[in-house]
Amino acid sequence: MSSVLYDVPGPKARLYSFFGSVAGTLVILGVLAIAVFTLAQQGIFDANRWEIFYGTEAPDVWNLILQGLGATLAAAAVSAVIAFPLGVALCLLRISLVPWIRVPTQVVLEFLRGMPVVLMMFFVLLVFATSQFVAVVAGLVLYNSAIFAEILRAGIQSLPKGQREAGLAIGLQSFQSRMIIELPQAIRRMLPSLVAQLVVLLKDTSLGFIVGYEELLRKIQIMADFLGPNFLFPAFFMGAAIYILINIAVSRLAIAIERRGSKKAAGGVEHATAAGAVPTAK
């Protein structure tokens, strides 16, 4: 599509864009050089500051980082495993034919979607006096099950009407038709959105930092406090790098699934995105 927006650049335009790019790159490199120079003057790049990752303390440091990473992944995995079935259940309630089931569920879903995740974690932590792990998982489950429910609802509603009608016509009950006919197709159709939401869930485990759960970021801070302010930057840099690498890996997985799915789309299962279910910044 994007190439439709402009003519193929001629020699003059290519020349301009080449020199512009070179100039822009130089400017960015210049700013980076100034930043690096400032950092270097503060000794950020001195070998002894990065020694924590390969020197004598390295085993302890990596141990701490791995513990934090384990805690992050554990919270994400447990939350995802609980949130998905709960999301399916909420979705079924949300599209129930009985108004006094459907409407209260809608209100609950709106409520859950409108609340900051960190507030829900904090609420569970203080009101139910649970451990930090439970609070983090509860916050993530409450929020993400609501999102999963909305994604699946959009998926079911995007199916051709005939699917449900055919199910009912061969004598399935409403619930059977939902479970056997509609839900499997909806999950398949919405797989890219569901995986994208998993990335969001993984990212949101870092909110555990705020409620005191000892995940990667908190461990990094503990480490920096213990080793002294000189090591804050290296520790932080490593933590951010680990987070970004994992998230990009999962995002790539989502893109790969999307591609694979769209190849199969000819078989009648077509991917659809519902505007309301697009995973947004949260």
Chain residues that interact with another protein, rule: CB under 8 A? 1-2, 4-7, 9, 13, 17, 20-21, 24-25, 28, 38-39, 42, 44, 110-111, 113-119, 122-123, 126-127, 199, 203-207, 209-210, 217, 221, 229, 232-233, 236, 239-240, 243-244, 247-248, 251, 275-276, 278, 280-282
Residue 223 near residue 232, CB atoms below 8 Å:
no
In angstroms, what is the minimal distance from the CB of 60 to another protein? 22
CB of 9 to another protein, least distance (A): 6
Q: Is 275 exposed, middle or buried (0-12, 13-18, 19+ CB in 10 A)?
A: exposed
Give me 269's structure tokens. 């299962």
Looking at beta carbons only, is 194 or 196 nearer to another protein? 196
Q: Report which secondary-structure segment, H or E, holds 54.
A: none
Nearer to another protein, 115 or 168 (CB): 115
Cβ nearer to another protein, comparing 47 with 275: 275
Q: Quote the CA–CA distance of 137 and 213 in Å, as a whole number.
A: 10
Nearest C-alpha neighbor of 178 from the set 167, 189, 191, 169: 167
Choose between 62 and 233: whose C-beta lies nearer to another protein: 233
For 178, how many CA atoms within 13 A lie in the half-sphere containing its CB? 16
Q: Choose between 20 and 55: whose C-beta lies nearer to another protein.
A: 20
State the nearest-atom distance from the C-beta of 203 to another protein, in Å. 4
Minimum Å gap between C-beta 42 and another protein is: 7
As a whole number of angstroms, the distance between CA 5 and CA 135 comes to: 49
CB of 189 to another protein, least distance (A): 18
Structure tokens at 142: 């409450």
Residue 194 CA from chain centroid, whole number:
10
CB of 72 to another protein, least distance (A): 10
Instruction: Give the nearer residue to another protein in terms of CB position, either 156 or 183.
Output: 156
* Nearer residue to another protein within complex by CB, 183 or 220: 220
Q: At what angle do helices 132-157 and 191-204 cross, to 10 degrees?
A: 160
Task: Report the nearest approach of another protein to the CB of residue 122 (Å).
Answer: 7
Token pair of 86 as six digits? 């709960």
Q: How far apart are the first and last CA of the chain?
A: 28
Selection from 180, 130, 187 nearest residue 154 by Cα: 187
Nearest approach, Cβ of 81 to another protein (angstroms)?
A: 21
Q: Is 53 left (phi over 0), alpha (psi -120 to 50) or beta?
A: alpha
Nearer to another protein, 61 or 146 (CB): 146
Backbone angles phi, psi at 274, to 5 degrees: -100, 135
